[in-house]
Structure 1
Amino acid sequence: MKRITIIGAGFAALSTARKLRRLNAEVEITLIAPKAELVFLPSLIWIPSGKRKAEDLRIPLERFLHDSRIRFVAGEATGLENGGRTVLTNNGKVENDGLIIACGGRFIKKLPGIEHAILPCEGIAAAENIRERVAALKQGNIALGFAGNPNEPSAMRGGPIFEFLFGLDTQLRREGRRKKI
């Protein structure tokens, strides 16, 4: 029997696992992630304005994993051996015949001046940090921005940052703080 290992528990990892299961009822699928949960990243923009809380964005995966007959390994991938046929985790090794890495992007803050920026798409902790900073702000400016991929102009999507901006604007107006911020 073939053994497929998927690293990650986001949209790409879960849709891949589901598709694999539909294509082959016998394949052994192992999912490696820190927790058996999906964080619904599109709603991160609503945490700073208080429209959503962290627990609203965490979706337990136990039922999905059970119903799809997917083995779950709680841990973080720390390396590969044997050309990717062995995944090293902080909880041991996972052997496979095929490996899919779908653990999302990593946010590297190497640009000068960005080291103090908070990126909402980094996850729940970053979105909560933005909420706390906005709550503590008495006056000043909030700077928002987005960038595209110069090698793929069609990859630039500014919609979420504008939703985020308008959510903050609405919040500040409701609180009577918009004229100062």
Structure 2
Amino acid sequence: MLKKILVLGGSFGGLTAALEIKRRLGGRVEVTVISKDDRFVFLPSLPWLVTGHRQASSLSLQISAILASRRIHFVHGTACGVDPVRMRVTTETDSYDYDYLVIATGPHLACEEIPGLGPQQGHTHCIFTLEHAQKSREAWEKILETPGPLVLGSTQLASCFGPYYELAFEFDHELRRRRMRHKVPITYLTSEACLGHMGIDGLGPSRRFMEDEFAKRDIKAVVSQAVTAVEPESIHLADGRKLPFKLAMLAPPFKGVAGVAGLGNARGFIPVDEQYRHPQYANIYAVGVAVAMAPREPTPVPTGVPKTGYMTVQMAKAAAFNIAADCNNTAPLAAGDLNILCLFDMGGTGAVMYAEPMLPPRQRSLLKKGRWVPWAKAGLEKYFLWKMRHGLSRLP
């Protein structure tokens, strides 16, 4: 009898899990992916879309086409609820039974927690979706036409910092290239306890590295701050200060999505064991941003722990291995410590960061600057999109 595998989410975690499960179990399983988005987007390159170095069409693929080649069903819809007892997921229009469920839904961007935040109902921009990045590009082009103060960074409870560091460097580089940097003051505002913290207690000399790079580029840093409200041209901070802006791009607080309510913690993130299984329901797995992950130490202003695309793929492959092991009655794999690898563009140069494991104390870590890094990131983009286009979870 075919086992029914249901995967919620069509980004790095969801597609990797679905493709890897199908690769391991083949015709013995019926795999279905439910995603509110009908396109896979290579999210790490969205800063390049904002600055005009990429087009949306070059960074996205139709999910249905990816999955069809591997005989995986695709449902374009939003999961509205999970019944773990009946083993059923409901969407706006239908319901789907499962034997195993993989939750890879990513975050809910909780702009509503800060008055005036966000591109829909507020006065700020962000780059966590293709639509948001396209709106940010329009706002950036307006700054080039009518210069003014620029504020970048992350609010409290955000858990993705790298893209905003990238944008700070890339905007600085572009403005200098156009000989108009002196017309656009740049402020980096963050909930991090210090520059380079990134939700992982820093990485080697990352604090000194970021402080030195910001000083070279005349980028002002405002750290360990919470945002209380945003008005059309000013950001209100918890210490009473106001930051003026012509363009503000801020990562909002992260929460788990509403469709899996009841399975997660107070903010909706899913607890998992060392095999990425839900501690109460052994046939439910979670990977990526949906996973509850506590920081090593709390910070004065709360931040989340990042789950990069690299980490998410690690989790998804481990979850797929364990689902296959359960189906085959073989031993599961206890996931080891997650490592982190980040390539980020700095405008004309770049830096690579690697940590093993992600949180300190670490076995080893690396932070190295080099002109080759943007080329490496561009190569990774091409490789990953090629792999997804051909429905591959790993190299053939």
State the TM-score, normalizing by the size of structure 1: 0.83
Q: Report whether the alignment pairs 1:160 with 2:159.
A: no
Partner of 2:95: 93
3-state SS in 2 of match to 1:106 = strand
CA distance in structure 2 between the partners assigned to 1:84 and 1:146 by the alignment? 40
Partner of 1:17: 18
In structure 2, relative to structure 1, the CA distance for the partners of 1:111 and 1:34 (3 Å cut) is closer
The 10-residue stretch of structure 1 (56-65 or 95-104) with the greater mean CA deviation from structure 2: 56-65
2:127 to 108, 120, 123: 120
The 10-residue stretch of structure 1 (100-109 or 27-36) with the greater mean CA deviation from structure 2: 27-36
Partner of 1:75: 77
CA distance in structure 1 between the partners assigned to 2:86 and 2:163 by the alignment? 35
Tell me by how many angstroms 1:13 deviates: 0.4
Tell me by how many angstroms 1:147 deviates: 6.4
Task: Answer whether contact 1:74 1:91 (CA < 8 A) is retained.
Answer: no
Higher helix share: 1
Uncovered stretches (5+) of structure 2, i.e. residues with no partner: 185-396
In structure 2, relative to structure 1, the CA distance for the partners of 1:64 and 1:130 (3 Å cut) is closer
The 10-residue stretch of structure 1 (158-167 or 52-61) with the greater mean CA deviation from structure 2: 158-167
Task: Answer whether contact 1:84 1:99 (CA < 8 A) is retained.
Answer: no
Tell me by how many angstroms 1:6 deviates: 0.5
Partner of 1:175: 178
Uncovered stretches (5+) of structure 1, i.e. residues with no partner: 151-155
In structure 2, relative to structure 1, the CA distance for the partners of 1:73 and 1:117 (3 Å cut) is same
CA distance in structure 1 between the partners assigned to 2:116 and 2:36 by the alignment? 31
**Larger radius of gyration between Structure 1 and Structure 2:** 2
Tell me by how many angstroms 1:148 deviates: 8.2
CA distance in structure 1 between the partners assigned to 2:69 and 2:155 by the alignment? 40
Task: Answer whether contact 2:35 2:77 (CA < 8 A) is retained.
Answer: yes
Q: Report whether the alignment pairs 1:133 with 2:139.
A: yes
In structure 2, relative to structure 1, the CA distance for the partners of 1:18 and 1:84 (3 Å cut) is farther
Give aligned-pair identity as a percent.
32
3-state SS in 1 of match to 2:102 = strand
Tell me by how many angstroms 1:114 deviates: 4.0
State the TM-score, normalizing by the size of structure 2: 0.40
In structure 2, relative to structure 1, the CA distance for the partners of 1:73 and 1:120 (3 Å cut) is same
Q: Which has the higher contact order (CA 8 A, sep 6+)?
A: 1
3-state SS in 2 of match to 1:65 = helix
The 10-residue stretch of structure 1 (104-113 or 70-79) with the greater mean CA deviation from structure 2: 104-113
Deviations 1:30-81 (A, max 9, x none): 0011344211111111121101121122112344312322111121112233
Partner of 2:44: 42
Q: CA RMSD in A?
A: 2.5
